[in-house]
Chains A and B, each alone.
Chain A
Amino acid sequence: MHLKYESFVREPLVDNSKDYHEVSEDIVSPIERKPGRMWYVGFIFSLILLGFGIFSVSWSVYWGLGTWGVNRTIGWGWDITNFVWWIGIGHAGTLISAILLLFRQGWRTGVNRAAEAMTIFAVMCAGQFPIWHMGRVWDGFWVLPLPNSRGPLWPNFDSPLLWDVFAISTYFTVSLLFWYSGLVPDFALIRDRAKTKFRKMAYGVASFGWTGTAKNWQRMEALALVLAGLSTPLVLSVHTIVSFDFATSVIPGWHTTIFPPYFVAGAVFSGFAMVNTLLVITRRILGLEEYITIGHLEAMNKIIVLTGSIVGVAYLTELFISWYSQSWGEMAAFQWRIMGPYWWSYWAMMTCNVVSPQLFWVKKLRRNIPFTFVMSIVVNIGMWFERFVIIVTSTYRDWVPGSWAYYSPTWPEVGFYLGTFGLFFTCYFLFAKYCPVIAIAEIKFVLKTSGENYKKKMEAIDAMDAQEFIDSVHAHHGEEHHEVAAH
């Protein structure tokens, strides 16, 4: 008897009785079927948003950034707010797949694939903003340290914006590799099940000739570990470096050493909220409630309440330090932030990010799906406001009062933001249609330990007293030994 035991205190990670075939069937069949009506509605809506985004960006590039509301005082508005927001969202996937992998958190298997996909799409969305907010986007490649005939003239390695370029492109590359390497065995599974020639060919190419040999698996595991090791520092570094855009400046409200941890916590916070938003919908539409269980959502909600509290402490620390510093610039910046014309954005941030997640201390609410869904959106609204507060309400009233100004976005800015939603969901819908949204191989890996029916089988053993159990183990041990010996 092969014995894998996991405490009954732990919830099963896969509900109901599932065997390997059923797992494959449940997860792969949506890919093999024609998509449902909801998928079409969602996909077309996303495409429309994306189209509007492309139109808005084209408009801004053709006519110039004067079509935006950003101005001489507030040089960054919705553009960089959205950039930081999307980058933050892009943190959850890699955190789940890398850090939780290193910490051997079995529950990550249900959510990691979707979360990683979300990360990649979010980083793609984020990347649009620094590109298209440039006044002369056609010269944007000058930020790359390419050998050139202009001198040669190199980028300014002192500039945090340049660090961003490196940090984000590295993060995107590693995340993409990590995600794709996990997809390879699952693509092979689809290929093997494929009944149409095209599908067989397409997934055959995508799976790189995976045959499922022990060597294949061993290499994949090794690669996963290496990439996890590589991504772990990246999860922390990307948002740290993004925070340097602000932390290294001289503007009160930006010039803060607390930013790196504060940004990372906020990123995890918003990323997990976004994962929740997507999973609640995905599990429902694709009928994957048995794989993405309430237990999964609860685990996510716990992280949300933790990181939400961290950012709450960070906000209060900022306030305390601005008072403790007795530096007039600092004190005034926070005063204007809280009580100036943009007071509403500060209080929206405080309410959404600090106050409301505290409700997740209540177990009932943590396990309540509609509540989780609403909260996941509230958190992301709050995190959007956090970035808005940092970026806009620091610059709008900085050092010299004569230059103070106000800022409201114009339609191309809003359109650009909506467009990135279009990009994100277009990618996500395509992903949900063509890729297994749950890592099949990894689910199978935990199925016999943490699947509900396998856990049920352990009930008899759990009922034994200790001596009985030892005896039975010994007995089995003997048998197994024999079997091995027989080989």
Chain B
Amino acid sequence: MSQKQYWSGIEDLNNINTPREVVENEFKEELPFELSDSLFGATTPRRDFLKFLGFSTLAATLVASCEMPVRKAIPYAIKPEDIVPGVPNYYASTFADGGDYCAIVIKTRDGRPIKIEGNEMSSVTRGGTSARVQASVLNLYDKARIRHPYADGKEATFAAIDGMIKEGLAAKPGYLVTSTVLSPSTKEVIAQFLAKYPNVKHVTYDAYSYSGMLLANEACYGKRTLPTYHFDKAQTIVSLGADFLGTWISPIEFSKGYSKGRKISAKNKNLSRHYQVEATHTITGGAADHRATCKPSEMGKVAVALYNAVVNGAAPSLPSKALNELVNKAAADLKKGNGLVVGSSNDVNIQTVINAINDKIGANGVTVNWTVTSNCKQGIDKGIVDMVAAMEAGQVGSVYMHGVNPVYDYFDNKKFAAALAKVPVSVSFADRMDETAQKCKFVLPDHNFLENWGDAEPKPNYISLQQPGIAPLFKTRAFQDSLLTWTGATQTWADFWKEYWMKKTGSQDAFDKALQDGIIEPAGEMANGGAAFAGKTDEAINNIQNKKPHAGVELVVYQKIGIGTGGAWSNNPWLLEMPDPITRATWDNYLCVSPKRAKELNAELTGFSEVESKKVVVTVKAENGYSVNLPVVVVPGMHNDVVAVAVGFGRDKQVGRAAASDDTKGGKNAFPFMVFNGVTTEHHSDVTIAKTDLKYDIAITQTHNSYEARPVVHEYTLAEFTKDPDALLKERGAEISEFTALPWIEEGKEGKIDSNKEEGYRENGTLYPNYPYEGVKWGMSIDLNSCTGCGACVVGCMAENNVSVVGKDHVLKNHEMHWIRIDRYFSGMADDPDTIQTVFQPMLCQHCDNAPCENVCPVSATNHSSEGLNQMAYNRCIGTKYCANNCPYKVRHFNWMDWNGADCFDDNLYEDGRRDDINDDLTRMVLNPDVTVRSRGVMEKCSFCVQRLQEAKLVAKKEGHPLKDGGAKTACQQACPTDAIVFGNVKDTNSSIYKIRRQEQAERTFYVLEHIHTLPSINYLSKIRNTDEINAMDENKNEFLKYHI
């Protein structure tokens, strides 16, 4: 009997059998183990059954016993057009913070910004970033941000406040105080506001000001502006105290340029020469070829001596021999052309002399660009001083403060607070209840820059647009919206902004392109030109010479590269935990003193003190009566009569939990140490120091300062390198040739190594078989010559890889989690700051092909990928810490505590009071969903950003081509403002990593601890200093080698 068959589709008709099978097994799913052979087909299925039963029960019990919190995820009701869950969106935007500028790209995932990258299309910052730019995304999710406007300390609505303010505006004269405004459209808004209210004055106030330069430039060139410095074009760089790689004007831009002159290879031996005269020890000083120290009050004399040496070859007579020598050499080099002199002093006279030198050596139009200038700093100190006087006199009816916090950072902050109290209408646009906002009648919180439209014009006609990455999180309003409202405009800021740029760009297409690129720039290379110098050099020199020298100790007020002048940065746990590049200290400020002065204070660096975290506390008293207790941190390379303290600490508790300070935490405010000299604010003052019996813990991540002449770092002078570029190869050859020169390969010759020898060492240095890498093999190269130690990579890595912040108490126990750290080594004579040479070495997992960590793990939680990655299976790790012990580079980090709430233990999240906001639901929005948040008790380390590598491979696969060089970038590489890190596939002979190792930089390539045959995937390029000698290897020149208690 045949049954009628219905076919369900054309496939069914054509092949009646297969589809039926498919239909019958429509929901077939294979069991996770092989049933057919091993279980039922085996001779003893009963045993296997028991095995499976036993272990599945055990596993189920374990899983069930571990209760995971239920978090609700709400799906989109209507999916936004451009958002695909799991796929990041990128928006070009702009970072501008009081004149600090960077063109950026915001990475958003599911509508929230999670990472900031540099915008490579900008010809100003050229894709570079700084630690602060990297960390800025965390400020968006800062729990201390205020969530609605305040009037008289109580919640209010914008409308109500607008009404009250409009009443006050017309009455008495008012002041609008802002930090440097880079935005042309905002300037337009301000102009309209000022036009509407002519009795309101606009004062630009920079907490750490460049007034001296601006005024000197106005006097010399008729332009109250800063020039653009072309460090890339400078063959000789002389910096008189300017930390241009760290904090001076536009460090990202300068780092990019500077590093171009520092790239050297055996083929191209041209290297710029960098002279640094400074009072403290900055990372710029660390990078310098020749470095000498002077007191800040002597800086003018150094400038004059340099001027005289350049102009008439006069022999300098400065306080130290090292200074004289440096000035002589620098003058000689400057005269050769392509010179550049920069200085950080805020004294108009000194800046005038520096301008004169640049004029004499013909720097204008070559390295100093007066055609395309810089808008980065615009504040003139006198403006706010006059305003405070007016406020004190009761002449001011209202004051509006945006981006400034004078109650904290004004040099006489008590006076400012008192004066502010006399102003009837005071308005702050701060994002948090900072010191000034607390004292203001109205607080109208501004958007975070990631929530707002905007733009920046760091240089005339070099525009960068700012688009938001997220809608405002709180009841905040753009500062510009407030002004527009008060002006009476009906337009919102967003509309105003769009109209403004539509007009400028001309068409919707042009606008869209500009928005997408984030950049509007003139085509071609940046124009360059000089300006006629009309400065009164002699008068300036006279003024400098007539200044009476000060005999005692001088204090320098400096900015930390992470914290800057404070602001929101003071409450940014990533930045607080980022070790200072020089002191390697976290979470506090402190008094930097030279080793010699430390000895007098009984707080020297050597011996047990090196490992002792309890630091001697001293009382520092300024001439103006300001006095604080600060712990002493010894910094080799500081002038013996100079001490230094960083600003940005000593914040009020409402600035945020991480920033909050008292006697036990958070440091002290250093701004009151600054002195107003009648024209500008000087960033140093005369102080007296008295030792106390107190001690204070400073959490320092690196306690040993010397690399002990070990082949961990290789340094050569330019002369040595020029004479014998193969010196390093020979040194390496002596170690590894032995393994290559087996009789059946070649005759054993000492000397240069080639790729054969490296391969020979790889194969013959071990008893085990060699793994043949096919396809991709990842590798990284780090140029010690380019690395300035700025720490952008450290924070970039934290942001990308969800690296935990552990808090001060745990940094004290060396529990910090940074996947990449920057080792900083000193060499030289401790008592003579002018002999100190500093080298930075980024240290991260070396992804050894013969990794010591891998074979000691009892459960194979760490293992090797076929692409050469040393990878961690967090789920498998049981936390014996054996791998960390056996890691020669000590780059593995253990999750000592439940830092992130990723555990099945309830309520045992580590809390210390200061870092806690990092685990707030708001702050956790910054976490990168592509990277596991590690739970307590597992080991973690650098993964070479494996999530990015996978993504790059998938993209290449989808696009149907092999992985392109540069397709995958690690977070540290991308963050680096000096391109010190190169990453790629070493099997690809066209890749830059291959070319560096095998062709361009073969002579400078080395591997750290190559002789123990770990076969690292990271190579370093030796440090070449354009100096006379390297101290590090010589015990007579490097006292640090003798510090063996």
A134 to B56, CA, bound (A): 24
- Is B190 an interface position by the 8 A CB rule? no
Give the A-binding residues of B (Cβ under 8 A): 32-33, 51-52, 55-56, 59, 62, 607-608, 610-611, 702-704, 706-708, 710, 712, 810, 813-816, 821, 823-825, 841, 843, 852, 855-860, 876-882, 884-886, 888-898, 905, 908, 910, 935-939, 1008-1009, 1012, 1014, 1044-1045
Contacts A62-B908, A147-B55 given: A341-B611 contact, CB under 8 Å?
yes
Please state if A149 and B707 are interface contacts (CB–CB under 8 Å).
no
Q: Which of B824, B878, B910 gathers the greatest number of chain A CB atoms within 10 Å?
A: B878
Task: Encode contact with B along A338-355: 1 for CB under 8 Å, 0 otherwise.
Answer: 011101000000000000
| Interface-centre pick from B51, B610, B881 (highest chain A CB count, 10 A) | B881
Name the B residues within 8 Å of A143 (CB-CB).
858-859, 878
A66 touches B896 (CB 8 A): yes
Which of B810, B888, B936 is the one whose CB lies under 8 Å from A398? B888
Contact across chains for A72 and B877 when beta carbons are under 8 A apart? no
Known: A251-B886, A328-B710, A406-B611. A136 touches B703 (CB 8 A): no
Chain B residues contacting A71 (CB-CB under 8 Å) are: 813-815
Complex: A398 Cα to B704 Cα, angstroms: 12
Inter-chain CA distance A148–B52, complex, in Å, is 8
A421 CB to closest chain B CB, in angstroms?
24
A358 sits at the interface (CB 8 A): no
With A134-B879, A156-B855, A403-B889 given, is the CB distance from A65 to B706 under 8 Å?
A: no
Contact present for A399 and B703 (CB under 8 Å): no
Contacts of A62 in B (CB 8 A): 905, 908
Closest to A250 in B: B852
| Chain A residue, CB-CB nearest to B891 | A403
Judging by beta carbons under 8 Å apart, are A250 and B1012 in contact? yes
Contact B843–A403 (Cβ < 8 Å): yes
Given known A399-B712, A401-B708, A401-B825, contact A161–B858 (CB-CB < 8 A) = yes
Identify which of A72, A135, A153 contacts B890 (C-beta below 8 A): A72
Residues in A neighbouring B896, C-beta threshold 8 A: 64-66, 68
- Distance, CA A328 to CA B892, complexed state (A): 24
Q: How far is the CA of A249 from the CA of B706 in the complex (A)?
A: 25
A399-B888 in contact given A134-B880, A135-B938, A405-B814 (Cβ < 8 Å): yes
B470 → chain A closest CB, angstroms: 34
Q: Which of A325-365 contact B (CB under 8 A)?
A: 328-329, 332, 335-336, 339-341, 343
The answer to whether B936 and A249 have CB atoms under 8 Å apart is no
Whether the Cβ atoms of B895 and A340 lie closer than 8 Å is no
Known A65-B896, A249-B885, A250-B1014: A165·B610 in contact at CB below 8 Å: no
A72 touches B712 (CB 8 A): no
Q: Is A5 an interface residue (CB 8 A)?
A: no
CB–CB A142/B703 < 8 A: no
Assembled-state Cα–Cα distance A62/B909 (Å): 10
Chain B residues with Cβ below 8 Å from A29 are: none
Additional pairs, 11, CB under 8 Å, beyond known A137-B878, A160-B856: A62-B905, A72-B814, A136-B879, A155-B860, A159-B882, A249-B885, A249-B886, A398-B890, A401-B712, A403-B823, A404-B703
B1009 and A400 contacting across the interface, CB-CB below 8 Å: yes
Of all chain A residues, which has the CB nearest B852? A250
A154 — nearest CB in chain B belongs to which residue?
Answer: B860
**A161-185 to B contact mask, C-beta < 8 Å, 1/0:** 1100100000000000000000000
> Chain A residue with minimal CB distance to B910?
A66
A-B contact pairs, 14 of them (CB 8 A): A63-B897, A65-B897, A134-B937, A135-B894, A136-B938, A138-B62, A147-B51, A154-B860, A160-B856, A249-B852, A400-B843, A401-B707, A401-B825, A403-B890
Query: Which of A136, A160, A161, A248 is the most central at the interface, judged by chain B CB atoms within 10 Å of its CB?
Result: A136
Q: 9 nearest interchain CB pairs?
A: A135-B879, A135-B937, A402-B823, A66-B896, A71-B814, A403-B890, A66-B897, A75-B881, A406-B611
Q: Is A64 a contact partner of B897 (Cβ separation < 8 A)?
A: yes
Tell me the bound Cα distance from A343 to B1044 in angstroms: 11
Q: Report yes or no: A402 in contact with B897, Cβ–Cβ below 8 A.
A: no
Most chain B CB atoms below 10 A, which of A138, A158, A328, A403 = A403
Q: Check B910–A161 contact: CB distance below 8 A.
A: no
The interface of chain A, by Cβ under 8 A from chain B, is 62-66, 68-76, 130, 133-140, 142-143, 146-149, 153-156, 158-162, 165, 245, 248-251, 328-329, 332, 335-336, 339-341, 343, 395, 397-406
Beta-carbon contact of A341 and B858 below 8 Å: no
Q: Which residues on A sit within 8 Å (CB–CB) of B59?
A: 149
Which of A73, A135, A329, A343 has the most C-beta atoms of chain B within 10 angstroms of its own C-beta? A135
Which A residues touch B852, using CB under 8 A? 249-250
Cα–Cα distance between A67 and B938 once the two chains are bound (Å)? 15
- CB neighbours (8 Å) of A328 from chain B are 710
Contacts of B810 in A (CB 8 A): 66
Mostly helix, strand, loop or mixed at chain A's interface? loop
Write the nearest CB–CB distance from A40 to chain B, whole angstroms: 38
Q: How many Å from the CB of B93 to the closest CB on chain A? A: 36
Chain A residues contacting B891 (CB-CB under 8 Å) are 403
Q: Check if B884 sits within 8 Å of A142, measured CB to CB.
A: no
User: Contacts of A65 on B, CB cut-off 8 Å?
Assistant: 879, 894, 896-897, 937
Query: How far, in whole Å, are A335 and B708 apart by their CA atoms in the complex?
Result: 12
- Chain A residue at minimal CB-CB distance from B1040: A401
Which residues on B sit within 8 Å (CB–CB) of A249? 852, 856, 885-886
Q: Hey, which chain B residues are within 8 Å of A403, CB to CB? A: 702, 821, 823, 843, 889-891
A149–B56 contact, CB under 8 A?
A: yes
> Taking the nearest CB of chain A, how far is it from the CB of B865, in angstroms?
16
Least CB distance from B966 to A in Å reads 30
User: Is A142 touching B876 in the complex (CB atoms < 8 A)?
Assistant: yes
How close is A411's CB to chain B, nearest CB, in angstroms?
Answer: 13
CA separation between A74 and B611, bound complex, in Å?
13
Q: B600 to chain A: closest CB distance in Å? A: 23
CA distance A402 to B826 in the complex (A): 11
Given contacts A73-B814, A142-B859, contact A250 B886 (CB under 8 A): yes
Nearest CB to that of A69 among chain B residues?
B813
Q: Is the CB of B856 within 8 A of A397?
A: no
Return the chain B residue nearest A158 by Cβ: B855
Name the contact of B857 in the complex, choosing from A64, A133, A156, A399 (C-beta under 8 A): A156
In the assembly, what is the distance between CA of A43 and CA of B702, in Å? 46
Contact (Cβ within 8 A) B813 A404: no
Chain B nearest CB: distance from A121 CB in Å? 24
CA A125 to CA B893, docked complex, whole Å: 28
Residues of A within 8 A of B897 (CB): 63-66
Is the Cβ of B893 less than 8 Å from the Cβ of A402? no
Q: How far is the CB of A467 from chain B (nearest CB, A)?
A: 70
Residue contact B877 to A406, C-beta cutoff 8 Å? no
What residues of chain B lie closer than 8 Å to A149, measured between beta carbons?
32-33, 52, 55-56, 59
Q: Knowing A73-B814, A341-B611, A397-B704 are in contact, say whether A64-B878 is a contact too (CB < 8 A).
A: no
A335 and B610: CB pair below 8 A?
Answer: no
Selected contact of A332 from candidates B708, B884, B935, B938, CB within 8 Å: B708
CB distance from B766 to the nearest CB of A (A): 12
**CB-nearest residue of chain A relative to B1045?**
A339
- B608 contact set on A, CB distance < 8 A: 341
Residues of A within 8 A of B702 (CB): 402-404
Inter-chain contacts of A72 with B (CB < 8 A): 814-816, 884, 890, 892-894
A343 touches B1045 (CB 8 A): yes
Question: What residues of chain A lie closer than 8 Å to B936, measured between beta carbons?
Answer: 64, 135-136
Of A62, A146, A336, A404, chain B has the most CB atoms within 10 Å of the CB of: A404
A159 touches B857 (CB 8 A): yes
Query: What residues of B have a CB within 8 angstroms of the CB of A153 in the complex?
Result: 859-860, 876
- Residues on the B chain within 8 Å of A160, using CB: 856
Partner of A159, one of B56, B855, B877, B892: B855
Contact B889 A139 (CB under 8 A): no
Partner of B1044, one of A146, A329, A336: A336
Question: How far, in Å, is A152 (CB) from chain B's closest CB?
Answer: 9
User: Which residues of A have CB within 8 Å of B824?
Assistant: 402
- Distance, CA A61 to CA B104, complexed state (A): 44
Name the CB-closest residue of B to A63. Answer: B908
